[in-house]
Chains A and B, each alone.
Chain A
Amino acid sequence: MIKISNLNKKFGEHNVLCGLSLDINPGELIGIIGPSGCGKSVLLKHIIGLLKPDSGEIFIDGMDITKLKGKDLKKIRFSFGMVFQGGALFDSLTVEENVGFGLKQHTDLNDEEIRKIVSEKLQLVGLIGTEDVRIEELSGGMKKRVALARAIVMNPRIILYDEPTTGVDVAMIDNVNSLIRDLQERLKVTSIAVTHDLQNAYKIADRIAVFHQGKIACVENVEEMKKREGEILEKYMRTPADCQIK
């Protein structure tokens, strides 16, 4: 269970999060939609503890991650896997070294065992046989898949997706969406995917939260959201991102 309570964050004069609250149930994939640049990625970075809020709490299984430091924060990060918007793959390393990075840093597995696990994860994302390929040789879609394999390699309980289909070829978008949904079914993890594309959110999410002016304006299941699509787009997706701008 992830519980976000009254989260506030300001960068300079720009209010990004303004009393945001949201509950995420175990085992569900919640999509958070909102216009580009409204602060969805900032929210994800707060959830994994990369950013500290000005005020508010984020409880991960009852533990407030905003108060954690040092070893405690490191420990709770093992619960997370994060797929960054641009992939954030280490471009000086190969696919295998990227995917196996967490294992190499945090486990006592030997190279052979790591290679075996990496191959399994690459098979899950449909990239078997790419272990020795360098990152610059991959397409946008393949990079997203490698990032996904890296995110799941430590068997996390929570996966965060930051714009999972951005930068992916149009032909590959459905492929990435299916992969996310498929992994969700297989791994039974709790997932949060932020996106600016409502159609993609329909394909992957169990519930959809609408991010509007620093808050969650509404949370609906996919069917209900489809019924209210016109209203949602008009009301929430075409207005300024900053919560102080009305």
Chain B
Amino acid sequence: MPFFIMIGDKILVFLRHLGGITILFFSTIYWIFQPSRLRENIFAQMVFVGMDSLLIIGVTSLLIGMVTAWQTGLAIAPLGGKTYIGGVVAIALIREMSPLIVGLMCAGRVGSSFAAEIGSMKITEQIDALESLAVEPVQYLVVPRFLACLVMTPALVIFANLIGLFGGWLVATNNLGVESAIYINHAINYPKLKDIYFGLTKATVYGMVTAIISCYRGFVVTGGTEDVSRATTFAVVFSSLAILLADYFFSVLFHLLS
């Protein structure tokens, strides 16, 4: 019996979090359209989410592009298809790898920071202080982070695509003996516009998911610093899980739409 009670409790906790995340999402949408003076704040968050992620996204994308080219080359070279590496790498990166890598990297770097920052503000009464100064915490804290993720994750995906393709080119031309012009030609001509559109749509959703889940967990921090560290872990784990889940549904949806 205690086992079923424990399971029931876990389900209730999960549903409460899900409800809280949903409410925060709609609340954020509402506050986006209310008058505010958040321009500087939004810009600062865009720099944090976008500019400050360039190095880690660049390195990761370069390596992913190189690995993808290697594995693809090794698999299709015996079939005489190594000239198609550029096209395969491009489609893999644009449709799947870049949005996923950017999403997961943002969940790790940006999500943990959002949860820790808002959680720390919660336990030091800074969020109460905001309210006492007649400032809506969702508008001041969540809206800039949400908008920054919304705008910067697609931008990071475009950057990741370019760097990944460059990584693939390095391996294809230096190690697999593919002509540079052939790689570039296939990389440009294989992907269709809808592949780029699908990739950017995914990235936008992953950014929103990360922002909302991480900010939500920061807001529900209780007690002291111990729960801030739990919030950070929760933000990264659940944002990553939500991104992977969304990735699956996107794959099915885009397949149906194609």
Classify chain B's interface size. 10 to 19
Complex Cα distance, B124 from A54, in Å, reads 25
Residues of B within 8 A of A48 (CB): 132
> Which chain B residues in 121-138 approach chain A with CB under 8 Å?
121, 124-126, 128-129, 131-136
With A104-B37, A105-B37 as known contacts, state yes or no: A90 contacts B134, CB within 8 Å. Answer: no
Further 10 A-B residue pairs, CB within 8 A, beyond A50-B128, A91-B124: A45-B128, A74-B136, A75-B134, A77-B131, A88-B129, A90-B121, A90-B126, A90-B129, A102-B134, A105-B135
B139 to chain A, nearest CB (A): 10
Verify B134–A106 contact, CB threshold 8 A.
yes
CA separation between A85 and B128, bound complex, in Å? Answer: 11
Q: Are B128 and A88 in contact (CB under 8 A)?
A: yes
Residue of A nearest to B40 (CB): A104
- Residues 89-129 of A, flagged 1 when their CB comes within 8 A of B and 0 if not, give 11100000000011011100000000000000000000000
Selected from B128, B129, B132, B133, the residue in CB contact (under 8 A) with A105 is: B133
Contact partner of B125 (CB less than 8 A), chosen from A81, A86, A105, is A86
Chain B residues lying within 8 Å of A50, measured Cβ to Cβ, are: 128, 131-132
Q: Is the CB of B132 within 8 A of A80?
A: yes
Q: Which residues of B contact A80 (CB under 8 A)?
A: 132
In the assembled complex, the Cα of A81 lies from the Cα of B126 at a distance in Å of 14
Contact, CB under 8 Å: A88 / B125: yes
Number of A-B contacts (CB under 8 A): 48
User: B134 to A84, Cβ gap below 8 A?
Assistant: no
Q: How far is the CA of A84 from the CA of B122 in the complex (A)?
A: 13
Residue with the highest number of chain A CB atoms closer than 10 Å, among B124, B128, B133, B135: B133
In the complex, the answer to whether A101 meets B133 with C-beta atoms within 8 Å is: yes
Whole-angstrom distance between the Cβ of B126 and the nearest chain A Cβ: 5
The 10 A-B pairs with the shortest beta carbon distances in the complex, nearest first, are A88-B129, A88-B125, A77-B134, A82-B132, A74-B134, A84-B125, A102-B133, A88-B126, A50-B128, A105-B135
What are 10 A-B pairs at a CB distance below 8 A? A74-B134, A78-B134, A82-B129, A84-B125, A84-B128, A84-B132, A88-B125, A88-B128, A88-B129, A90-B129
Cα-based distance from A154 to B132 in the complex (angstroms): 12
Using a CB–CB cutoff of 8 Å, the interface residues on chain B facing chain A are: 37, 121, 124-126, 128-129, 131-136
For the complex, give the distance between the alpha carbons of A91 and B131 in Å.
Answer: 16
Collect the chain B residues with CB atoms within 8 Å of residue A84's CB: 125, 128-129, 132
Bound-state Cα–Cα, A89 to B133, Å: 12
A45 to B134: give the CA distance in the assembly, Å: 14
Closest approach, in angstroms, between the C-beta of B240 and any C-beta of chain A? 26
The chain B residue with its CB closest to the CB of A154 is B133
Provide the bound-state CA to CA distance between A88 and B134, in Å: 15
User: A102–B131 Cα gap in the complex (Å)?
Assistant: 11
Residue of A nearest to B129 (CB): A88
| B-side contacts of A89, CB under 8 Å | 126, 129
Question: Are A77 and B132 closer than 8 Å at their CB atoms?
Answer: yes
Select from chain B the residue with minimum beta-carbon distance to A90.
B126
Q: Which residues of A contact B125 (CB under 8 A)?
A: 84-86, 88
Q: Which residues of B contact A85 (CB under 8 A)?
A: 125
* Nearest CB in chain B: distance from A50 CB, A: 5
Query: Chain A's nearest CB lies how many Å from the CB of B131?
Result: 6
Q: In whole angstroms, how far apart are the Cα atoms of A163 and B2 in the complex? A: 43
